[in-house]
Each structure stands twice: as structure tokens, then as C-alpha cells.
Amino acid sequence: MLSEEYIWEKIGKDGFTRIAAEFYDRMKEDDLIGPMYPQDDWEGAEERFRDFLHFRFGADQRYLETRGHPRLRGRHMPFKIGIPERVRWLEIMHQSMKAAKIPDDCAETLSAFFAQVADFMRNQPE
């Protein structure tokens, strides 16, 4: 498992920006979880996600300054998130990292992080 500092040094702000852009390009076309995203604010949603990643891995304070504490579970509570949604989100995230040309060693650690986040977001029984 790579350290967050190593990942930030290796892919940096640009790498996380590419992940967010690739993710939202795919999300716009997704029929299962795409509708959970604000259809009239794709750019804003991408910006918030990008800023969260910059905060989480690079200690960039922009997210905290504009949004406050992430409160991820609370912010996602209005949406039905079960196993199918979790699986799809992770599939799209993996595709996004690949398209963003994230090095395999970083993608492996990021995949573990994203799996933990996806599990934490679930609010529906199995």
C-alpha cells in the first residue's frame, strides 16, 4: 500500500483532475447512478469531487474552505446506495483511472481507498 504523500508526488493535482474529469464524462452516460448526480450542475459536481480528491491526497484546503467538512455519508444519504450502485461506482472509477493514465501502483492503492469509500456510502441492506 503506497502512502498518500507518494501518490500525490507521483500523480499530483493534474492526475486527480484527470480522474475527476474522466469519472464525470462516464457518469453522464450511466443509467444506474448517473441520475443521482445533479443534471444541471455537472461542472460543479466534478469540481467538488476534484477538490475533495485534492484535499484528501494533497492537503489542498480549497474543499474545506468552500464546503467545510466532507460529511460524505451525510451528503449521499438522500440517494439509494446499495451493492449494485457500489459496484457500478467502482467500475466507473477504475475505468476513469485507466483513462487518466494513473500508474498501476497508484491505481492499486487508490482502488482500495475508493472501495472503502464506496462501502461507507452504502445505505441499503444487502
For the chain, list the domains and their CATH numbers.
Answer: 4-121 (1.10.490.10)
CB atoms under 10 Å from CB of 108, counted, come to 13
Residue-wise pLDDT tens digits, 23-72: 999 999 999 999 999 899 999 999 999 999 999 999 888 887 888 777 77
CB atoms under 10 Å from CB of 87, counted, come to 13
Residue-wise pLDDT tens digits, 3-35: 999 999 999 999 999 999 999 999 999 999 999
Residues 6 or more apart from 111 whose CB is under 8 A from it? 90, 93, 94, 97
Residue-wise pLDDT tens digits, 85-117: 999 999 999 999 999 999 999 999 999 999 999
Residue 2 has pLDDT above 80, yes or no: yes
What's the farthest any 2 CA atoms get from each other in the chain? Answer: 38
The grid cell for 94 is 477504475
Contact status, residue 33 vs residue 85, Cβ threshold 8 Å? yes
Q: What pLDDT does residue 95 have?
A: 98
Contact status, residue 88 vs residue 33, Cβ threshold 8 Å? yes
The rounded distance, in Å, linking the Cα atoms of 14 and 97 is 12
Residues 6 or more apart from 100 whose CB is under 8 A from it? 15, 18, 19, 21, 22
Identity of the amino acid at 19: I
